[in-house]
């Protein structure tokens, strides 16, 4: 059952990442990989919310697997993030590479904290 939930969550998360990433990248012309930042921060917010909710109340394991290792972990990506950072650094856009690291980590962490607080507050 847990495996099935992970598969279902991943089957939504992976194409969602592709579609959101493309939609965001198509809307701005620059080289900065905003698409990946957006999917990663969104996934951190939702996973933070789930963790906060699980700390405040009982969340069914099936739902935890669907949203956690299924949807959120698959919606977010580290491989694309680090490849983009290397690409920016290699092409001479070192400030953008550094900005990508700082923005992704700080925003991802902030999203995890805020999502967690919201989950705990709303489901207390």
Partner 1 sequence: MRPDRPDDTSPAPGWQAQPVDPDTAVDPWPPRRAPSPGRRQAEILAAVTAGGVLGACARYGATLLWPTVPGAFPWTTFWINVTGCAAMGVLMVLITERTTAHPLVRPFLGTGVLGGYTTFSTYAVDARALFGDHRAGTALLYLAATLVAALFAVWAGAGLTRLLALPRATRTEGEA
Residues that bind partner 1 (CB under 8 A): 3, 6-7, 9-11, 13-15, 17-19, 21-22, 25-26, 31-33, 35-36, 40, 43-44, 46-48, 51, 68-70, 72-88, 90-91, 101, 104-105, 108-109, 111-113, 116
DSSP structure string for 56-118: HS---HHHHHIIIIIIIHHHS-SHHHHHHHHHHHHTT-HHHHHHHHHHHHHHHHHHHHHHHHH
- CB 93 → partner 1: shortest distance, Å? 8
- CB 31 → partner 1: shortest distance, Å? 5
- CB 59 → partner 1: shortest distance, Å? 14
- CB 69 → partner 1: shortest distance, Å? 5
Tokens describing residue 102: 């700082």
| Total residues belonging to the chain | 124
Q: Distance between CA 3 and CA 116 in Å, rounded?
A: 25
């Amino acid at each position: 059952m847990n495996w099935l939930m992970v598969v279902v969550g991943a089957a939504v998360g992976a194409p969602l990442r592709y579609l959101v990433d493309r939609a965001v990248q198509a809307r701005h012309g620059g080289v900065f990989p905003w698409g990946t930042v957006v999917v990663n921060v969104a996934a951190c917010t939702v996973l933070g919310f789930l963790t906060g909710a699980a700390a405040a109340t009982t969340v069914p394991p099936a739902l935890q697997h669907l949203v956690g290792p299924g949807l959120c972990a698959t919606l977010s990506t580290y491989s694309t993030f680090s490849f983009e950072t290397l690409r920016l650094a290699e092409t001479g856009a070192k400030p953008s590479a550094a900005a990508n690291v700082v923005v992704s980590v700080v925003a991802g962490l902030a999203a995890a904290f805020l999502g967690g607080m919201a989950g705990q507050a709303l489901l207390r």
